[in-house]
Amino acid sequence: MISACILVKGAVMLSSFWKQNKGVKNSGLASLLLILLSITGCSVKQPHQAAIASAHPLATQAGFEILRQGGNVYDAAVAISAALAVVEPSGSGLGGGGFWLLHREYDNLDIMIDGREKAPLAAHKNMFLDTKGNANKQLSLNGVLAAGIPGMPAGLVHLSEKYGKLPLATSLQPAIRYAEQGFAIDTRHQKLLGFRKNILNQHPETAAIFLAQGEIPDKDSLLQQRDLAQTLKHMAKHGKQGFYAGSVADKLVAAVQQDNGIWTLDDLLNYQVVERKPMTGSYKNIKITSAALPSSGGIVLLEALNILENIDLGAVNNITRKHLISEAMRRAYHDRALYLGDTDYVDVPVDRLINKYYAQGLSSSIRVDKALPNEYLTGHTPEKQGGRNTTHFSIIDNEGNRVAATLSINFPFGAGLVASGTGVLLNNEMDDFVSAKNSGNGYGLVGGDANAIAPEKRMLSSMTPTFLENSGRIAVLGTPGGSRIISMVLLATLDFTAGNSPESWVKVKRFHHQYIPDQILYEKGGLSTREVEGLQALGHQLKQTYNYGNMQAVQLDKNNGSLSAASDQRGEGQASVQQIHK
Ligand code: GLY
């Protein structure tokens, strides 16, 4: 029986390969072979349950709706991504980009779809410098120059066509409905509008969509986005061309050029997603699969965990534990600043940075009784506030097929303007490049030439969609939060290691060190007074900030097949486990 299973599984893989290379959906051969697998009693069967956690209840529901229509987790991921673009416009959107980390169980495929925005062809290294050579943050954060060429629409089309079972038009339906019929805005949406109200008000068409006579609309008032519904319908009908060519592309370019922006139709036509091999590594007995460059997320996460593997965190008191974790973060973020950028443009010593011996060397520079001042590492010192940007969702079915996706338009409501007639909010992801030496981006992150602006280059990201796996459990997780995304995923990974549940990972009290500024940032309630004093006594600077992050996590228990899901209580998302097929 076992060899029969292997034979049939092999045939399914071949058939899938054939389907992918021919671009054919619902191959009859694949379906026939899947039926054969179930007749022969092999372990591949129709998933009957799934867990979804996302930043908005309507996005979670869109995922289940598509699963019930016979979609797989990748179709559901398309539906959730598109729904979030409509119902959480502060965090992500068709005008932005993101990373979808996929695992397909039957052929054990792990892949990252890189839909990160790209710099326009006319972009150049000094485009955000003022006459004195200083970075002009107004230009890189607000308005058309701040916007990279969107990758989200291409990512959705790729995900659907290569990995989905249903037509793109089906998977986009919930999002189109939400955009057309509208939805009730929540308190979080109101709060994020407050953060960007002045910028939105500079653009009358944008203000007309999101504000009420220039003010924040009441809670539960209806937000309808009819132009956005039309743009989604164009994509449903014409696929990638429905966004990157034709009338939508014309309107996008016209809107950008009208504000003296630099997008051209060629920028849109040239945009391609890239499939990348995810970063993989281990921490103790856990396999970690996470984002590859142009996201720094996977490398910084693995480097910090490799450093911590040399330290017995269980043998020290709470204050020392947090000190040691902060010191690991400091070193990993320091390497982020020194080395990381888009590997299509620069050489990055990735193998060295995630090497266990390299981490051992770094860990030996950590003193248990003292914080290491940054001067000993080399660096410079700008300081900026963090943002409340981006979104994440996690999905897994009971077969183990899964997607972790972190999607962004960068700061809340991106560049703050909608391209006229499209409903598409432009991103301000260009700010994630290094605009000037010694100047941090909107999150205070510094960097070097590796992350300098160049035409068609992808800006360095911190988004960290991640899978964790040990002998008993598989976790799928991630969060928004700018530079703090990686440290949040790190703390959740340590909590997974301690045997805790998704409910616990998303609740972990957060603290963060990103090398520059040289301080431990902690959320309200993240550290006790005793811990703050203890860390100060070790030589750390500390700063309290608001509660941050919005982690969405799901888990499969491999021993009994049970699923669980959790949505961060700091947000207003929904986590749910539901029956799909009997
Ligand atoms: N937009 C935030 C990031 O990509 O890191």
User: Which residue has 């109101």 as its token pair?
Assistant: 190
Measured between alpha carbons, how far is 301 from 337 in angstroms, rounded to an integer?
Answer: 14
Confidence tier at 428 by pLDDT (50, 70, 90): very high
Q: Cβ(148)–Cβ(117) under 8 Å?
A: yes
Domain ranges of the chain: 2-39, 51-275+389-451
Residue 4 confidence (pLDDT): 43
398 lines ligand 1 (CB under 6 A): no
Ligand 1, atom 1, residue with closest C-alpha: 410
Model pLDDT for residues 378-415, shown as the tens digit of each residue: 543 433 333 357 999 999 999 999 999 999 999 999 99
According to DSSP, residue 147 is labeled P
Q: Which residue numbers are catalytic?
A: 390
Nearest to 554 by CA among 47, 88, 49: 49
Model pLDDT for residues 267-297, shown as the tens digit of each residue: 999 999 999 999 999 999 999 999 999 999 9
Ligand 1 centre distance from Cα of residue 297 (Å): 10
Q: Which amino acid, 556?
A: L
Between 556 and 436, the more confident residue is 556
Confidence tier at 439 by pLDDT (50, 70, 90): confident
Q: Cβ(293)–Cβ(350) under 8 Å?
A: yes
Residue 441 confidence (pLDDT): 82
464 lines ligand 1 (CB under 6 A): no
Nearest to 371 by CA among 240, 536, 199: 536
3-state secondary structure of 67: helix
Model pLDDT for residues 119-163, shown as the tens digit of each residue: 999 999 999 999 888 889 899 999 999 999 999 999 999 999 999
Determine the atom of ligand 1 nearest the C-alpha atom of 462.
Answer: 5
The rounded mean pLDDT for the chain is 91
463 lines ligand 1 (CB under 6 A): yes
Q: Is the pLDDT of residue 373 over 90?
A: no
Measured between alpha carbons, how far is 63 from 567 in angstroms, rounded to an integer?
Answer: 15
Confidence tier at 312 by pLDDT (50, 70, 90): very high
Residue 330's alpha-carbon distances to 164, 279, 290, 426, 540, in angstroms, are 40, 20, 20, 32, 11
Q: Which amino acid, 525?
A: G
Ligand 1 centre distance from Cα of residue 18 (Å): 35
Residues with Cβ within 8 Å of residue 4, at least 6 apart in sequence: 40, 42
Tell me the average pLDDT across 436-459.
Answer: 87
Q: Is the pLDDT of residue 61 over 70?
A: yes
Confidence tier at 7 by pLDDT (50, 70, 90): very low
Tell me the average pLDDT across 73-88.
Answer: 98
Measured between alpha carbons, how far is 517 from 538 in angstroms, rounded to an integer?
Answer: 17
Ligand 1 centre distance from Cα of residue 239 (Å): 26
CB contact burial 205-242 (16+ within 10 A = b; e otherwise): ebbebbbeeeebbeeeeebbbebbbbbbbbbbebbbeb
Ligand 1 centre distance from Cα of residue 34 (Å): 39
Nearest to 294 by CA among 471, 493, 442, 117: 117
**37-46, 198-207, 346-355, 369-378: least confidently modelled range:** 37-46
Greatest pairwise CA separation for the chain in angstroms: 74
Three-state secondary structure string covering 427-443: CCHHHHCECCCCCCCCC
Helix axes 356-363, 318-339, angle to 10 degrees: 120
What is the reported pTM?
0.92
